[in-house]
Structure 1
Amino acid sequence: MSTPSLALRRAPDATAIIVMIALCGAWGFQQVAIKEANASIPPILQAGIRSLIATLLVWLWTRSRGVPLFQRDDTLPAGLLAGLLFGGEFVCIFFGLSLTTATRMAVFLYTAPCFTALGLHWFVAGERLARAQWCGIALAFCGMALAFADGFLHGNPNGASTWQGIAGDTLGVLAGLFWAATTVVVRASTLAHASASKTLFYQLAVSAVLLLALAAGVGQTHIGVVSPLAIASLAYQAIVVAFISYLTWFWLLTRYMASRLSVFSFLTPIFGVTFGVLLLGEHFTARFMIAAAMVLAGIALVNRPARRV
């Protein structure tokens, strides 16, 4: 896949905006799909199967387009690291959703853009944070602290103990950290010059091996009666999210300015909270709603395009 030069990348047009909104909706629904499938398929095993299916789909897609995946280009060490971090992210998401709600996970997970901005500031030249971005990070982290306080004061809305809920929330934050670390590795290593398909293949393939091995190691390989809804949820995660949406996102990055596309990231937790309330009947307090608004506002500030001077 050829990548246009930065000079050829443009601001999002109507098509890109519509596609980005659809992607954010798909990503926001992912937490609901995982939680539904968790009732039938152990979390870590579910995550491994998801990555395995998506790996096979990416491989078939690249073969059909003649995109090379296995030539030597010095990306293997960085690819393995990115895959391990990607796998760690989904260990935290899938296990965390067995302890906390999809609504809360959506907010904690999508603190990732703030962690990404910090990582890029420290490790990638030319990615220095402006004053507004520092303010956004501070606002998002204050919102995250308020959300944790809400969990302590009101207990776990997922039906388990308060401490289990806090553990689930913490895993959501760790998932955001892993996600951010994956992005920084991709941007700061030889993967920055690899094709999007190869970068995605590394993440999916390595995480599939890691997650399936971990599932076997911790005894999460037994599957009981699997409902049609669980199968549909797993298929959605593997085909729609891990394959179609990720490739679409990378395609957008080759044609449009990444800073302008990233502004839309605050929509994903909005979709996640909405789907959790409407489809799973989850509830949240006014304090948590304020905390979520602070996180969303912080993400918007972090991703605000730099002012031209």
Structure 2
Amino acid sequence: MGTRQPLDLFAITSMVIFCIVMASQQVMLKAVAEDIVPVFQIALRSGIAAALIIVLILIQRHRMPLAPENRIPALLIGVLFTLEFLFLGEALNETSAGHATVFLYTSPIFAAIGLHMKIPSERMSRLQWLGILLAFGGIVLAFLGGDSTDALSSAVLWGDFLALLAGAAWGLTTVVVRATGLSALPARQTLLYQLLVAFVLLTLWSYITDQAEVNLTPEVWGSLAFHGIIVSFISYLGWFWLLTKYKASQLGILSFMTPVFGVLLGNWLLGERIEANFIFGSGLIIGGILLVSSHGWLRKRRERAGKPA
């Protein structure tokens, strides 16, 4: 495997586009929610993306062996992926797209805690623990806003909590992949397992809870195409391709533009109000996540700086 190169203009531009796309998905789900509920739309987009990945695998004639010891982990990441988007879809029924995006992107915090417990080499430093305390302080601050007498405040609070659970499920997915033999599989293979399980389970959930009705407007068709092709297929595969070419730590730091874009797009396109407490809380959350995620990169910089010229 070749050495990953530092970020260049192409990588930075690609990451800006990737983050805008990732931030837009919550806004798009929310925008057409009256014609198709978010959970069912996520189910359909998972099916579309899974079909496209299967076609790609068949065209490229890639084999996809799965060792017996990896079967349960493969099913588990599918269930966790399903829970992530079930929580996110239900959250968008109650809270804003901006709130949902910020709380969803707390996932590195949960991943760091899980990896600290499961993998000795992933033990966190004091700086990373400080980042976790900072992020959770931001979560508390972000939850404390709004008028408690407002009839919608309890619903918004519940939606925020569901989005936080979605972030936790995403983080646990990372832990399962890293702590099992799935980490040695091609990214498209693990992505396919997640998409297939999510398609089946979220479709069942939608029908069981009477959320499978669709009003096929042009906006809904456009949203399904955007989510199924752009988000769940092209963007995910593009992200994995970038990881093969550039340093993951630097890409990971840039990915935290996503919650910022999510809040701004929700305000611009949906007219969502941005509360002062949420701005400060989000700042603490993102700052804490950066401390946790950039630890390896900062350590390597210090090591290089300490070496004699």
- After TM superposition, is the score higher than 0.5? yes
- 1:238 maps to 2:228: yes
Residue of structure 1 aligned with 2:143, choices 145, 148, 154: 148
Residue of structure 1 aligned with 2:96, choices 101, 104, 108: 101
Q: 1:227 to 1:294 in 2, by over 3 A?
A: same
- 1:134 maps to 2:124: no
Residue of structure 2 aligned with 1:65, choices 52, 60, 65: 60
Deviations 1:131-171 (A, max 9, x none): 2221111111101101111146484xxxx622111110000
Residue 56 of structure 1 corresponds to 51
Residue 32 of structure 1 corresponds to 27
> Alignment partner of 1:38: what SS?
coil
* Structure-to-structure mapping, 1:133-282, within 5 angstroms: 133-151=128-146, 153=148, 155=150, 161-223=152-214, 225-282=215-272
Pairwise CA distance, 1:292: 1.1
Distance (Å, rounded) in 2 between the aligned partners of 1:151 and 1:142: 17
Pairwise CA distance, 1:252: 1.6
Q: 1:175 to 1:151 in 2, by over 3 A?
A: farther
Maintained 8 Å contact 1:152/1:166: no
Maintained 8 Å contact 1:151/1:166: no
Deviations 1:69-89 (A, max 9, x none): 3x3423321111001000100
> Alignment partner of 1:307: what SS?
helix
Q: 1:277 to 1:239 in 2, by over 3 A?
A: same
Distance (Å, rounded) in 2 between the aligned partners of 1:18 and 1:62: 28
Residue 15 of structure 2 corresponds to 20
Maintained 8 Å contact 1:37/1:234: no
Residue of structure 2 aligned with 1:287, choices 267, 277, 281: 277
Report which stretch shifted further, 260-269 or 146-155: 146-155
Q: 1:151 to 1:126 in 2, by over 3 A?
A: farther
Distance (Å, rounded) in 2 between the aligned partners of 1:123 and 1:152: 41
Percent identity of paired positions between Structure 1 and Structure 2: 41
Aligned residues: 298
Letter in 1 for 2:183: A
Distance (Å, rounded) in 1 between the aligned partners of 2:211 and 2:273: 29
Letter in 2 for 1:195: P
> Alignment partner of 1:10: what SS?
coil
Letter in 2 for 1:132: L
Residue 9 of structure 1 corresponds to 4
Distance (Å, rounded) in 2 between the aligned partners of 1:126 and 1:17: 29
Maintained 8 Å contact 1:33/1:234: no
- 1:121 maps to 2:116: yes
Distance (Å, rounded) in 2 between the aligned partners of 1:153 and 1:17: 42
Deviations 1:178-210 (A, max 9, x none): 000111111111110111110110110111111
Could you tell me the TM-score, scaled by structure 2's length?
0.92
Maintained 8 Å contact 1:27/1:241: yes
Pairwise CA distance, 1:26: 0.7
Q: 1:152 to 1:123 in 2, by over 3 A?
A: farther
Residue 299 of structure 2 corresponds to 307
Deviations 1:226-265 (A, max 9, x none): 3211221121111111111111111122222222211112
Report which stretch shifted further, 192-201 or 297-306: 297-306
Maintained 8 Å contact 1:110/1:269: yes
Q: 1:265 to 1:153 in 2, by over 3 A?
A: farther
Distance (Å, rounded) in 1 between the aligned partners of 2:250 and 2:100: 25
> Alignment partner of 1:9: what SS?
coil
Could you tell me the TM-score, scaled by structure 1's length?
0.92
Gaps of 5+ in 2: 304-309
Pairwise CA distance, 1:14: 2.4
Letter in 2 for 1:59: I
